[in-house]
Each structure stands twice: as structure tokens, then as C-alpha cells.
Amino acid sequence: MFQTNVCNREEPVDTSIAKSSITEPDGLTKARLLDVAERLFADHGVDGTSLRQITKEAETNLAAVNYYFSSKDGLIAAVFARRLEPLSVEQSALLDAVEQGAGEQPARLEDVLRAIIQPAVIGEGSLHKGHEPFRRLMGRVFTEPGSQLQLLVKNQFEKVSQRFDRLLTRSLPQLSPEEVFWRRQFLVGALHRVLLISDKPESYAAPGLHPSFEPHRMVEQLVDFAAAGFRLPPSAENQKRGNP
């Protein structure tokens, strides 16, 4: 699935070490492989990290990777699924609640936005606390052109994104689908930036300013900020092109 430039070749496997690794209690070897892969992918990129580097730091071997993930591609997918699946599941559940609460009426815009923002900041699938390497890895996804990882992330959130767009379109009928698309990208960019600097926001502040990151307050600030942006009238350019 991924066109990685390393580790597609066959490498010798020491099966005797693998047997001891895969029987380690509570899947510790699997978790260690995921942790190490996540950090190395964030530091060096997916193509810049070999399975040998990962297994060396995880103190296991290539057979353990094959046992748990089948291949490097399987390991890559598992690194992302571990962080993104809980987030998308929680966002889907909150969108369910918003949609059911609205009934036949358009959902309140702030409720729709909160269903997307809240899980990323303070939910069970939050990317705020303890996931600094993964936040950096997501930065690579968005900034490295042609990355196959972009497709993986897109597929992970495809259903959530479609529902989000549908609810936004109902709440904001004055906006064209293209306007909704771009404003959603602005929201995703703002959310990712906030999460990226959440551990040390003071490092990005002007001298003498000491901002604090308070998750619950940040959710509401982001909801208010995004709602104001989404409620802006359609752009003049879109009106010229005949869009609503």
C-alpha cells in the first residue's frame, strides 16, 4: 500500500529471538514496537526509518514485526490506527448525538464544531497529552508532498469528514460545498497548530507573555473562533463565480 523506499527487501530473520519476543506478557513487545516506530517516524520520516532501526531500539527483531504487523506497511498503518481510530470513533459518537438532538432541524453550528474539536483536545482519543511524537508525525503527513500517509489519514477520517460536511452544509446553506471544504481545512489547520504547541505555548509567545493551555477553555475558544469563521458570508470570488 505504501511506497516506502526502505525495508522492502528481504532481511534475515532470527526466529529463535522472535519466539521469546512474541510471548512477552501483555503484548509489551507490540506496544514497544509501536512506540519506537512512532518516535522514529516522527524524527526521520517513514522512508528514512528502517525496520532494523526500529527493532534495534525496541530490543526485538524482524520476526516480531512480521508476527504482529505482517510488514513495514502493516506497522505504519498500526502506528496511525492506534492514535486515530479512538479519535474518529469518539467524533462519530458525538456527531450521532448532535444529529439525533437536532431531529429534522439543522444542528446548531457550535454543537457540530464541538463534536470534532472536543475529542481531539480532551477526549479519550485526545492527541494533546502524551502523544508529542505522533503530533510531530502528523506534521510530516501534512507537510511532506506526495506522502502516501496523507491517503491513510484521509481514509481514516473519510466517514467522519463526510458527516461533518453534511451537517455543516445543513447548518450553513448559504455556503457552497467548496466554501465549506476550505473553511473545514482552516479549522483542521488551527486545531493541529494548537495541539502542536500545547505542551509549551510560551515558547511561541512574545516576550513577557505567558499563555497557558487549559484544555476545556481551549475547546470553547476554538469552537467560538471556528463558528465565527464559518458564519462569514461567502467570499466575493465565490459570488462572482455564481455560487450562493
Q: Which residues contact 69 (CB under 8 A, 6 or more apart)?
A: 33, 75, 77, 78
Domains and CATH numbers, the chain: 15-70 (1.10.10.60), 83-233 (1.10.357.10)
Please identify which residue in the block is written with the cell numbers 503527513.
141
| Cα–Cα distance measured from residue 147 to residue 75, given in angstroms and rounded to the nearest whole number | 16
Q: Residues 163, 230: contact at Cβ < 8 Å?
A: no
Q: What string of pLDDT tens digits covers the 244 residues of the chain?
A: 444 443 444 444 444 444 444 455 447 899 999 999 999 999 999 989 999 999 999 999 999 999 999 999 999 999 999 999 999 999 999 999 999 999 999 999 999 999 999 999 997 767 766 678 888 888 888 777 666 788 888 888 899 999 999 999 999 999 999 999 999 999 998 998 888 888 888 888 999 898 988 999 999 999 999 999 999 999 766 555 555 4
Q: In the chain, what's the furthest Cα-to-Cα distance?
A: 69
Rounded to 5 degrees, φ, ψ at 149 are -65, -30
Q: Residues 199, 136: contact at Cβ < 8 Å?
A: no
